[in-house]
């Protein structure tokens, strides 16, 4: 649980000082069954959101706060622990940092694969099914919206289950790279399986990474990188354009579980506000988008989304077409 590394974990409190985190870094709540009853004043503010959003097709933007009820810690939330994720420049420029990163990711990605969607994810999927959404943009790489049944999803920062070659551009499933890494590093997983905290980007708290062998690209031998957007890296242009299109097609923007710390998400809030569209933000704690919000809701994300998915009326002029399930 220690090690003065790039992630700054050395200074973070252990599980004993943060009772929400177990030894694996995952909350021991059961997803889908933990909705807290709404207080009177919470219901009142949610009803204000219902009147504000009624009759408007919605674009939804979600962040790490949506996945905390699935046991994935939010490193920017009010109870978060400090952590400085690796930058793109560090990843490509420093072999030892890259080796450490891959070793930790080798352990950590399995935790994300085992996580289940929670009531908040289910609520967003229900909104889509009810024809209320122009689409969903998520900053999370955990794919839990897709697991919950959402179809029209833009994974703004990529996904944890894909790996890309920086030389030839080939993309591989993370599970395939896992097989290669296991062959190159026999016994490593067994030795490190009691990893401590696991971050939202599959970075596990592993100390012994010095002798870890990284996998070269199976096609060209080039450098592999998990296919998500690092700090210091830009979101691909076509992905950003697709997200703007969802906001443009919407009558309002609903933000859930994001403190909007990074510009990659905040720009959509500014965009919607500039167009004069209502912006509703559900997040415990302040966000960088609060000044643009028509309504700020400090209620648990899963509870609030579940309420809205049930209470928002159907759109008067038909509904937004729901994309077809992929074959």
In the annotated binding site, the residues are: 139-142, 165, 168, 217, 220, 257-259, 283-285, 301
**Residues annotated in the binding site for NAD(+), as ranges?**
139-142, 257-259, 283-285, 301
**Active-site pick, 145, 157, 271, 319:** 157
Among 29, 54, 87, 167, binds Zn ion (CB under 5 A): 167
Beta-bridge partners for 202: none
Q: What's the distance, CA 157 to chain centroid? A: 8
Contact between 220 and Zn ion per CB under 5 A: yes
Three-class SS state of 60? strand
Backbone angles phi, psi at 142, to 5 degrees: -85, -5
Asked if residues 202 and 105 have their Cβ atoms less than 8 Å apart, the reply is: yes
Residue 157 Cβ, how far from Zn ion at the closest point, in Å?
22
Residue 180 Cβ, how far from Zn ion at the closest point, in Å?
13
Residue 62, H or E segment: strand 58-62
CB nearer to Zn ion: give 179 or 194: 179
Residue 223 Cβ, how far from Zn ion at the closest point, in Å?
8
Q: What phi-psi label fits residue 232: left (phi over 0), alpha (psi between -120 and 50 degrees) or beta?
A: left
Asked if residues 157 and 61 have their Cβ atoms less than 8 Å apart, the reply is: no
Among 46, 165, 199, 252, binds Zn ion (CB under 5 A): 165
Residue 100 Cβ, how far from Zn ion at the closest point, in Å?
22
Asked if residues 72 and 26 have their Cβ atoms less than 8 Å apart, the reply is: yes
- Strand residues in 190-321 grouped as ranges (E): 224-228, 252-256, 279-282, 295-297
CA distance 1 to 196: 6
Beta-bridge partners for 296: 281
Residue 167 Cβ, how far from Zn ion at the closest point, in Å?
5
Contact between 124 and Zn ion per CB under 5 A: no
**Binding to Zn ion, residues 21-50 (CB under 5 A):** none
CB nearer to Zn ion: give 10 or 220: 220
Size of interface with Zn ion, in residues (CB under 5 A): 8
CA distance 226 to 151: 23
Contact between 166 and Zn ion per CB under 5 A: no
Contact between 168 and Zn ion per CB under 5 A: yes
Contact between 214 and Zn ion per CB under 5 A: no
Contact between 222 and Zn ion per CB under 5 A: yes
**Residues annotated in the binding site for Zn(2+), as ranges?**
165, 168, 217, 220
121 has catalytic annotation: no
CA distance 32 to 69: 8
Q: Which residues bind Zn ion (CB under 5 A)?
A: 165, 167-168, 170, 217, 219-220, 222
User: Would you please indicate which residues are annotated as catalytic (active-site) residues?
Assistant: 157
């Amino acid at each position: 649980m220690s090690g003065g590394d790039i992630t700054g974990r050395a200074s973070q409190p252990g599980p004993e000082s943060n009772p929400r985190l177990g030894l694996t870094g995952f909350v021991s709540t059961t997803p889908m069954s933990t909705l807290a009853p709404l207080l009177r004043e919470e219901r009142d503010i949610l009803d204000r959101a219902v009147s504000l959003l009624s009759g408007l097709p919605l674009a939804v933007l979600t962040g790490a706060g949506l996945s905390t009820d699935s046991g994935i810690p939010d490193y920017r939330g009010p109870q978060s622990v400090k952590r400085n994720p690796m930058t793109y420049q560090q990843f490509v420029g420093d072999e030892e940092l890259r080796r450490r990163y891959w070793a930790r990711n080798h352990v950590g990605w399995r935790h994300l694969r085992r996580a289940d969607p929670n009531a908040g994810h289910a609520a967003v999927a229900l909104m889509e099914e009810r024809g209320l959404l122009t689409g969903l943009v998520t900053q999370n790489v955990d794919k839990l919206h897709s697991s919950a049944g959402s179809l029209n999803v833009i994974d703004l920062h990529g996904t944890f289950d894909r790996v890309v070659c920086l030389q030839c551009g080939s993309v591989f499933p993370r599970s395939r790279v896992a097989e290669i890494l296991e062959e190159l590093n026999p016994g490593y997983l067994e030795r490190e399986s009691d990893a401590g905290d696991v971050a939202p980007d599959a970075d596990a708290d592993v100390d012994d990474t010095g002798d870890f062998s990284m996998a070269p690209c199976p096609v060209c031998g080039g450098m592999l990188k998990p296919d998500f957007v690092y700090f210091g890296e830009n979101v691909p242009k076509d992905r950003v354009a697709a997200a703007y299109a969802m906001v443009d097609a919407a009558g309002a923007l609903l933000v859930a579980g994001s403190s909007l710390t990074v510009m990659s998400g905040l720009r959509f809030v500014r965009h919607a506000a500039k167009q004069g569209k209502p912006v509703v933000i559900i997040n415990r704690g302040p966000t960088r988008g609060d000044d643009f919000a028509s309504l700020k809701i400090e209620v648990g994300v899963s509870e609030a989304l579940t309420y809205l998915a049930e209470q928002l009326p159907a759109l008067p002029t038909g509904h937004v077409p729901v994309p077809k399930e992929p074959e």
